[in-house]
Amino acid sequence: MKKFTYIYIVLVYKNHKDLQSFFKTLDTPNAKVIVVNSFYDQDSKKLIEEIALRNNADFIDIPNKGYGFGNDTGLKYALNNYDFDFAIVNNADIEIKKFNAAKIATYSKDAIYAPKIKTKSNKDQNPFIINYSSFFRYIYYQGCKKQSKALQYFPILINGVIRRVFNLFVNLLGLNHLKIYSFHGSFFLIGKEALEKIYPLYLHEMFLYQEEHYLARKAYLNNVNTYFIPQDIEIKHFEDGSIDFNNKVLGKHMSDSYIIYYEFFNN
């Protein structure tokens, strides 16, 4: 098998322009990209495949069965076809602002690493949750079951305050390599040892949303640590990072996914 330090898994659905922009900012040494196309139509597939092959990336076309299924398919392909130190799972709609490849290459291969991620409106998306609280997770679960916005808002607001204070100290003191519980799924690294330990990373019944909760819990229960490395990697994520709780369709999808996650680990 050919050896790389980094293998990128880039899941794409329909939008070839994001993928094109991603390749323009990619400058990671000794890296290979695997583009996973969640099929939308033949026209978009053709454009995405052309961009992938033009950039010396591997291309996989799969049915659109969601975020978890798509990324797990890409990771399985990587494990079967390459030797590598780290897999990087990322959305196409990101820009890599900083990537300290030499330092990251020295890190443990039995862990997950989360970078600094800023949205286009300059919101921090990492860390997602710093410390796990069974109480807050239960409150949110009840909010999803009862479709209660108050019960859903409460843990989100508390977590938001904790995250802001945490990031304030991180930025002021230049802290790095901090142990956290969970992270945003738009960009993260997982060492090969950790990947082999917990693959598949996702529960495929969760088609969209809340996958971060499932992966964080699975990693924790399998003794795979997660570290926040904001001084080593900085990512620009071209979304606003907002959750629209007034969108009933979106709210229903998020609640359904969270219920599946929670009951999987607590029943």
User: pLDDT tens digit string along 33-56?
Assistant: 999 999 999 999 999 999 999 999
Structure tokens at 137: 């997770």
Length of the chain (residues): 267
- The answer to whether residues 47 and 19 touch, using CB atoms and an 8 Å cutoff, is no
- Specify whether the CB–CB gap between 78 and 7 falls below 8 A: yes
The per-residue pLDDT for 3 is 97
Pairing of strands 233-237, 116-119: parallel
**pTM given for the model:** 0.95
The answer to whether the beta carbons of residues 11 and 62 sit under 8 Å apart is no
Own/partner long-range contacts of 141-147 (Cβ < 8 Å, ≥24 apart): 141/258, 141/259, 141/262, 143/255, 144/254, 144/255, 144/256, 144/258, 144/259, 144/262, 145/255, 145/259, 147/251, 147/255
Where helices occur in the chain by DSSP H, the ranges are 16-25, 42-54, 67-81, 101-104, 134-146, 149-173, 192-198, 211-221, 248-266
Domain that holds residue 236: 2-266
Q: What pLDDT is attached to residue 181?
A: 98
Assess contact for 254 and 210: CB atoms under 8 A: yes
Total domains in the fold of the chain: 1
Contact indicator for 241, 125 with CB cutoff of 8 Å? yes
Confidence (pLDDT) at 82: 98
Q: What is the CATH number of the domain that holds 171?
A: 3.90.550.10
How many Å apart are CA 31 and CA 26, to the nearest integer?
Answer: 10
Written as tens digits, the pLDDT of the chain (267 aa) is 899 999 999 999 999 999 999 999 899 999 999 999 999 999 999 999 999 999 999 999 999 999 999 999 999 999 999 999 999 999 999 999 999 999 999 999 999 999 999 999 999 999 999 999 999 999 999 999 999 999 999 999 999 999 999 999 999 999 999 999 999 999 999 999 999 999 999 999 886 779 999 999 999 999 999 999 999 999 999 985 445 556 667 778 889 999 999 999 998
Q: Does the N-terminal peptide bond of residue 63 adopt cis geometry, omega within 30 degrees of 0?
A: no
